Amino acid sequence: MLSRVADHIYWMNRYIERAENYARFMDVNFNLSLDLQPDEAAQWKPLVVTTGDWPIYERLHKTVDKGKVIHFLGFDAKNGNSIHNCIINARENARAIRPEITKEVWEQINYLYYFVKEGTEKKRWERNDPRNYFIEIKKGCQMLYGIFDSTISKSEGWHFGKIGQLMERADKTSRVLDVKYHMLLPESAKIGSPFDLIQWSALLKSVSAYDMYRKKYGKLTALGICEFLIFDKHFPRSILNCLIGVDRSLMAIADQEKPYRSKVEKHLGLLRAQLEYSDINEVFELGIHEFLDAIQSKLNDVSESLFKTYFSVAESYTSPTPLITKNYQ
Amino acid sequence: MPKLNLSNYDTANFLDEMVDEKGQIRTSYTLFRERIEKMGWKKLNFLQHSTDRAQLSLGMTFNVYSDNQGLERILHLDIIPRIIAGDEWDLLEKGLKQRIIALNLFIADIYGEQKVLKDKIIPKELVLSSATYLKECIGLKPPKNIWCHITGSDLIKGDDNQFYVLEDNLRCPSGVSYMLENREILKRTFPEVFEKLKVRPVNNYAHNLRDMLESLSPQSEATIAVMTPGAYNSAYFEHAYLAQQIGAELVEGRDLVVKDDFVYMITTKGLKRVHVIYRRVDDEFIDPLVFNKKSLLGTPGLFKAYKKGNVVLVNAPGTGVADDKAVYAYIPRIIKYYLGEEAILDNVKTYICAEEDDRKYVLENIDQLVVKQTDASGGYGMLIGPKATKAEHEEFKVKIKANPRNYIAQPMINLSRVPTLTEDEIQGRHVDLRPYILYGDDIKITPGALTRVALKKGSIVVNSSQGGGSKDTWVLD
């Protein structure tokens, strides 16, 4: 498949996954804020930190409140990662590879596109309760995952898409855990208080993990939750499960003739092995923040080597002039 | 519920394709008219709205050139079909075949022996001064000696109920995706009447296109690519659509690389040879080493690979020379010269400003004429004399005098009208017709077309960039 096409599929799925995550975060955080004391800044700032968009937020706003954060993460064109921009970017990527995806996939992306465009035009952030809006986006993205899996042949393109989706998912799970853990457990004494239960439940819900966690562990504990979100082999949003999926797709794409593994496979394999041969006690010994930080940086290495191995093949054949087609008349 | 009232349907001063001079409904429209009258206004409106939604969801959108904001519009599809009788179409088809054979011979001759110039059928200077004449193409021998594989001629119907060719569009004619998608939508809109009328199907187009492209390569399993300027091009929807329909790779210039005069695509597994390129990038931009040096849309070395016969370009570069609006005037003579036949389809009378008598006539009668720039298309660079102001007349007179080769003029033709849905009733609107011709081992013309309609009352400009919409075209058996 064309390198450019592989790149677009990867990003199309990454943006959709990002939009879905953001939509879920917003819904969960809104629910949470109803249960807690009205300290808006304390409730909404961590959300912006989780997404990694805090530096941009700081530049745009002096204070943190519910309305500003909802607008910033959901609608703001100035925030490259806002749901609005994620959906637009996903569609731009889809448009560029229209013949590679099915009519069904295209129509669903297009539906989301018109939905967020309308949402922005009608200023949905001004509603007292914007949850339905975000739930609709979440569902729209989830439906897209289903359509993608049930209409696209599981060949190269599908696998590049899967890698994009799972890399994004692993990244978001690790960030949520990192930020929330930090907030919730500055000291171990508070574990078990009613206040904590609400927050820990919210953490699980923000990665759709509450039901599956309860089924496996029963009792909510900090250790159990961290273990589940990092090491669980079967939960679709645990970091390890995402990496296993990425590995499977990389194997499917790889040139079977070559006796050695490509750089991206090596990076991913090392990261996966590190998780598989570790356990939650080791993580706590090292410090959970340090551990998650290292994971993030290794995820970045994987992305970078994926780009070099498959997407930027062009650079070895052509001159690296930037290509601008936008102003063509 | 307001009833649909067609008794006020105005046919004054123009040929109407539904109602004849005596006020009688033409046979081809009888059944359809009965159906919509029964249907009523509310239902028709509902169907029109569903159509708009269907187009958006399919992504049948185009970017407007002057608009870099990524603003997309749909090409409005009016749900009332244009209906053409079978015998009328058969004659049209015969005429188009004759014309395309002659034009292809003409292009081959111009880049070959130039007999047509030596025999003084058409002035040498006129052809060789055309901006679309590419001297780089001299001596080219395209496979099967076919230059214009894909054509979408523009035709209009005048007061005399005859079709005239207005433009031949031998370069990268667009719109065929609308012919195909409009049909899909209309089949849902009027299923019963569609079935009863025995409308000829258009869906063989994609198969025929694929077969034609494959036939041009000696390779048994040729790799075919559709080359697009990119997602911001106004016709991008069509490029993507066609690539998908014929199972070709959709590539941009930057996805291709030329090595040792062979063309390859850059894939995740290295380079892969490409054999046939249906390029939707204009001649000028396909190869910065040969044509426009600033082009970022093309692939360096592509033209040389083509010249060596290592890749097929569709259409061949250089076909634009037969598309020049001044050359157009000579086409009846060109047909006679190569085929020894009279032209079946007429041209619109054309005055060539480069010729003294014609120029004099044009300057004196500019308020009666439509003046066109010879190398422009898309409705740009045009003056509609009877509708323009005095100042505009003067402005064009200056332009014509300064560069006569650049202009031609034609009498204003009363384009025929076809019933069209407006805000509160059905009114006649002016239309043209763009059928699609494929030229491979044989010539295939799809029985259907893109009908473009000027949506504004009284307007005769049907271009999508200037307020035009489209209609499905039903050719009856």
Note whether A329 contacts B: Cβ–Cβ < 8 A: yes
* pTM of this structure: 0.87
Residue B112 neighbours by CB under 8 Å, 6+ apart:
B139
* Side chain identity at residue A2, one-letter code: L
Contact B193/B226 with Cβ under 8 angstroms?
no
Question: Do residues B265 and B309 both lie within one domain?
Answer: yes
Q: Has residue A319 got a pLDDT over 90? A: no
Contact B92/B163 with Cβ under 8 angstroms?
yes
Contact B448/B473 with Cβ under 8 angstroms?
yes
d(CA A159, nearest CA chain B) in Å: 12
Pair of tokens at residue A256: 């079977």
Residue in the block written with tokens 């699609």: B436
Separation of alpha carbons B144 and A50, rounded Å: 63
Question: Do residues B380 and B297 both lie within one domain?
Answer: no
B102 within some domain? no
Pair of tokens at residue A169: 């998912």
Q: Has residue B316 got a pLDDT over 90? A: yes
Average pLDDT over residues B8-17: 87
Residue B33 neighbours by CB under 8 Å, 6+ apart:
B6, B18, B25
Determine the 3-state secondary structure of B422 from DSSP. Answer: coil
Give residue A325's pLDDT: 34
Residue in the block written with tokens 């090595």: B259
pLDDT tier at A316, thresholds 50, 70, 90: low
Check CB contact under 8 Å for B233 and A1: no
pLDDT tier at A329, thresholds 50, 70, 90: very low
Closest residue to A98, CB basis, from B240, B257, B271: B240
Check CB contact under 8 Å for A325 and B230: yes
Note whether B432 contacts A: Cβ–Cβ < 8 A: no
Average pLDDT over residues A88-112: 93
Give residue A322's pLDDT: 37
Torsion sign (Cα): A173, A176, A181, A184? negative
- Beta strand B443-445 pairing with B407-411: unpaired
Note whether B422 contacts A: Cβ–Cβ < 8 A: no
Note whether B136 contacts A: Cβ–Cβ < 8 A: no
Query: Which of B64, B266, B282 is the best residue to mutate to test the A interface, defined by the most A CB atoms within 10 Å of its own CB?
Result: B266
d(CA B48, nearest CA chain A) in Å: 19
Tell me which of B411, B426, B448 is where a domain ends: B411
Residue B276 neighbours by CB under 8 Å, 6+ apart:
B213, B214, B216, B217, B222, B223, B224, B225, B311, B312, B314
Question: Domain containing B265: what range?
Answer: 204-314
pLDDT tier at B1, thresholds 50, 70, 90: very low
Other beta carbons within 10 Å of A299: 22
Closest residue to B255, CB basis, from A2, A100, A311: A2
Q: Please give the biggest Cα pair distance in chain B.
A: 71
Q: Has residue A108 got a pLDDT over 60? A: yes
B363 within some domain? yes
Note whether B252 contacts A: Cβ–Cβ < 8 A: yes
H and E: helices and strands count for chain A: 15, 0
Contact A13/A162 with Cβ under 8 angstroms?
yes
Check CB contact under 8 Å for A95 and B231: yes
Residues of B in contact with A325 (CB under 8 A): 229-233, 252, 296-297
Give residue A294's pLDDT: 94
d(CA B421, nearest CA chain A) in Å: 26
Average pLDDT over residues A29-47: 85
Note whether A4 contacts B: Cβ–Cβ < 8 A: yes
d(CA A99, nearest CA chain B) in Å: 5
Note whether A307 contacts B: Cβ–Cβ < 8 A: no
Question: Do residues B212 and B309 both lie within one domain?
Answer: yes
Tell me which of B387, B411, B435 is where a domain ends: B411
More confident residue, B175 or A259: B175
Residue B234: closest C-alpha in chain A: A329
Residue in the block written with tokens 């990496």: A243
B429 within some domain? no
Residue A324 neighbours by CB under 8 Å, 6+ apart:
B296
Write down the ipTM of this complex. 0.79
pLDDT in tens, A136-174: 999 999 999 999 999 999 999 999 999 999 999 999 999
Which of A9-23, A58-72, B411-425, B457-471 shows the lowest mean pLDDT across its residues? B457-471
Q: Has residue B168 got a pLDDT over 50? A: yes
Give residue A321's pLDDT: 40
pLDDT in tens, A192-249: 555 578 888 999 999 999 999 999 999 998 889 999 999 999 999 999 999 999 999 9
Average pLDDT over residues B285-293: 93
One-character DSSP codes across B286-342: S-TTTS-TT-SSS-TTHHHHHHTTSSEEESPTTGGGGG-HHHHTTHHHHHHHHHSS-
pLDDT in tens, B390-437: 999 999 999 999 999 899 999 988 899 999 998 888 999 999 999 999
Contact B242/B176 with Cβ under 8 angstroms?
yes
Q: How far is CA A297 from CA A5, B200, B253, B299, in A?
A: 26, 61, 35, 38
Name residues 224-253 of chain A within 8 A of B (Cβ).
Answer: 253
- Single out the residue of B262, B275, B271 nearest to residue B308, CA to CA: B262
Buried-exposed string A105-143: b where 16+ CB fall within 10 A, e elsewhere: bbbbbbebbeebeebbeeebbeeeebeebbeebbebbee
The phi and psi torsions of B421 (rounded to 5 degrees) equal: -75, 125
Pair of tokens at residue B442: 């044989």
Instruction: Supply the CATH number for residue B273's domain.
Output: 3.40.50.11290
Residue B275 neighbours by CB under 8 Å, 6+ apart:
B217, B219, B222, B223, B224, B311, B312
Q: Which residue(s) pair with B271 in the sheet?
A: B266
Mean of all residue pLDDT scores within chain A: 89
Other beta carbons within 10 Å of B275: 20
Q: Has residue A320 got a pLDDT over 50? A: no
Average pLDDT over residues B370-389: 83
Separation of alpha carbons A184 and A195, rounded Å: 10
Query: Which of A10, A91, A98 is the best residue to mutate to test the B interface, defined by the most B CB atoms within 10 Å of its own CB?
Result: A98
Q: How far is CA B356 from CA B360, B362, B400, B404, in A?
A: 6, 10, 12, 9
Q: Count of domains in chain B? A: 2
Average pLDDT over residues B455-460: 88
Check CB contact under 8 Å for B231 and A317: no
Q: Has residue B2 got a pLDDT over 60? A: no
Name residues 26-45 of chain B within 8 A of A (Cβ).
Answer: none
pLDDT tier at A40, thresholds 50, 70, 90: confident
Check CB contact under 8 Å for B59 and A110: yes
Q: Has residue B270 got a pLDDT over 70? A: yes
Residue A88: closest C-alpha in chain B: B70
B246 within some domain? yes
Note whether B85 contacts A: Cβ–Cβ < 8 A: no
d(CA A16, nearest CA chain B) in Å: 18
B221 within some domain? yes
Give residue B131's pLDDT: 87
Give residue A260's pLDDT: 62
Torsion sign (Cα): B89, B95, B98, B103? negative
Check CB contact under 8 Å for B56 and A313: no
- The DSSP letter of residue A75 is T
Q: Which residue(s) pair with B443 in the sheet?
A: B439
Give residue B232's pLDDT: 85
Note whether B224 contacts A: Cβ–Cβ < 8 A: no
Check CB contact under 8 Å for B268 and A107: no
Name residues 275-304 of chain B within 8 A of A (Cβ).
Answer: 296-297
Check CB contact under 8 Å for A317 and B271: yes
Give residue B64's pLDDT: 64
Q: What's the number of CA atoms in the CB half-sphere (13 Å) around residue B356? A: 0
- Single out the residue of A161, A147, A162 nearest to residue A102, CA to CA: A147
Could you give the angle at the alpha carbon of B56 between the alpha carbons of B54 and B59, nearest 5°? Answer: 110
Separation of alpha carbons B383 and B389, rounded Å: 10
- Single out the residue of A2, A99, A95 nearest to residue B206, CA to CA: A99
Residues of A in contact with B56 (CB under 8 A): 110, 114
Note whether B398 contacts A: Cβ–Cβ < 8 A: no
Check CB contact under 8 Å for A325 and B268: no
Closest residue to B266, CB basis, from A2, A324, A327: A2
B264 within some domain? yes
- Single out the residue of B200, B91, B89, B210 nearest to residue B149, CA to CA: B210
Question: Do residues B222 and B294 both lie within one domain?
Answer: yes
Provide, rounded to the nearest whole percent, the portion of chain B with pLDDT above 90.
74
Question: Do residues B306 and B385 both lie within one domain?
Answer: no
Check CB contact under 8 Å for B267 and A103: no
Instruction: Supply the CATH number for residue B376's domain.
Output: 3.30.1490.270
Check CB contact under 8 Å for B68 and A326: yes
Average pLDDT over residues B127-149: 94
Mean of all residue pLDDT scores within chain B: 91
Note whether A155 contacts B: Cβ–Cβ < 8 A: no
Provide, rounded to the nearest whole percent, the portion of chain A with pLDDT above 90.
73
H and E: helices and strands count for chain B: 14, 24
d(CA A108, nearest CA chain B) in Å: 8
Give residue A42's pLDDT: 83
B296 within some domain? yes
Residues of B in contact with A310 (CB under 8 A): 268
The C-alpha torsion from B265 through B269 and B271 to B273, rounded to 10°, is -70
B334 within some domain? no
Residues of B in contact with A326 (CB under 8 A): 68, 230, 232
Determine the 3-state secondary structure of B104 from DSSP. Answer: helix
Tell me which of B411, B426, B453 is where a domain ends: B411
Q: Is the peptide bond before B13 cis (omega within 30 degrees of 0)?
A: no
Question: Do residues B236 and B296 both lie within one domain?
Answer: yes
Q: Has residue B7 got a pLDDT over 80? A: no
More confident residue, B384 or A194: B384
d(CA A326, nearest CA chain B) in Å: 6
Closest residue to A1, CB basis, from B232, B254, B268: B268
Which of A78-87, B69-78, B152-161 shows the lowest mean pLDDT across its residues? B69-78
Note whether B56 contacts A: Cβ–Cβ < 8 A: yes
Note whether A188 contacts B: Cβ–Cβ < 8 A: no
